[in-house]
Structure 1
Amino acid sequence: MTSRSRTLWESGEEPGHEVAALAVALLLTAMTIDLALGDRLGLLFDLTFVTVCARAALMVRPADFFTVGVLPPLAMLASVALLAIAQPGAVARERDGVVQATVSGLSGHAIALVIGYLLCLGVLAVRNQVQTNRSGSPAPRRTISG
């Protein structure tokens, strides 16, 4: 019996919490570089966000799909809220309060959020389907015991 090589869709084996931590670190790094290059959060952050969302979905192990599936909106919210607190002028008008700056920042980066989130969910769906086709059963799901 020959073993088939693993495809791109089957290669993710990293724990969800590690993937989430790496994604947040990469986004904070991109945010820092983007702000060093200009006054506002811009295209560099948006492109990094979309790339990180897709890569996170490819890296995570199947049991942790949920963790990465909810990561994009939470990571975007955390990034924008952090800037709204520390430097509101980077995502909104300088005189805006934290809530208004957060909402303005999210709306200003909504296209990147939607593309990144759809890409992430799409990659997770394809990975789940490939695993189902290979094994005959869906990807293992983590249960919440309480």
Structure 2
Amino acid sequence: MSAPPTLWEEGREPAPQVVALGLAAILTVVALDLVLVGQLTLFFDLWFVVVSLALALAVRPGDFFTVGVLPPLLMLGVFTLLAFVSPGAVAEPGDSVVQAVVSGLATHSGALLVGYVLCLVTLALRQRVARPAPGRGAAPQASKRAGSPAPRRTTTG
């Protein structure tokens, strides 16, 4: 009987689904924050960190790179969208698009840093757990010669 998978081993979602989940979650948080307060607040920051961590736990091991670069791209995408639609949500209402994006990134840089670091550390831990340590649990290497199509030498004697 095998042991149940640990928290680090459970993520099995492919990258496109994790990206869609992250985008949907962040846009939902943005919509809630804008409806409740009218601008992005600490509520957005806290949920950004939670979503970044959840995405790192949900992705399958082969797609770690995609999630490893996702948090900054999510935040940049959200702030760019808001800069076009409602610049007052991330900056001063009269700011240009570029200025609103930069202001938003500067204002919420703490959440970006914490979310990104947690995401990368989680992915690193999952990578370490997924790879068995040398000498522990690794199956002995079979000789590659047995399956080789090369001709075998025979001895005459």
Same fold, TM-score > 0.5, yes or no:
yes
1:74 aligns with 2:73: yes
> Could you tell me how far apart the structure 2 residues matched to 1:109 and 1:133 are?
38
Residue 25 of structure 2 corresponds to 26
Residue 6 of structure 2 corresponds to 7
- Structure 1: runs of 5 or more not aligned: 137-146
> Could you tell me how far apart the structure 2 residues matched to 1:102 and 1:95 are?
13
Residue 127 of structure 2 corresponds to 128
Tell me which moved more, 2-11 or 123-132.
2-11
> Could you tell me how far apart the structure 1 residues matched to 2:101 and 2:125 are?
32
| Count of matched residue positions in the alignment of Structure 1 and Structure 2 | 135
**Identity level (%):** 53
Residue 145 of structure 2 corresponds to none
Residue identity matched to 2:101: T
List aligned pairs for 1:30-109, cutoff 5 A.
Answer: 30-109=29-108
Cα deviation for residue 45 of structure 1 reads 1.0
> Could you tell me how far apart the structure 2 residues matched to 1:10 and 1:40 are?
37
Deviations 1:46-101 (A, max 9, x none): 11110000000000000000110010000000011111110001100111000000
Answer 1 or 2: which has greater helix percent: 1
| Aligned-partner SS, 2:132 | helix
> Could you tell me how far apart the structure 2 residues matched to 1:133 and 1:118 are?
24
State the Cα RMSD in Å.
1.1
Residue identity matched to 1:95: G
Cα deviation for residue 40 of structure 1 reads 1.2
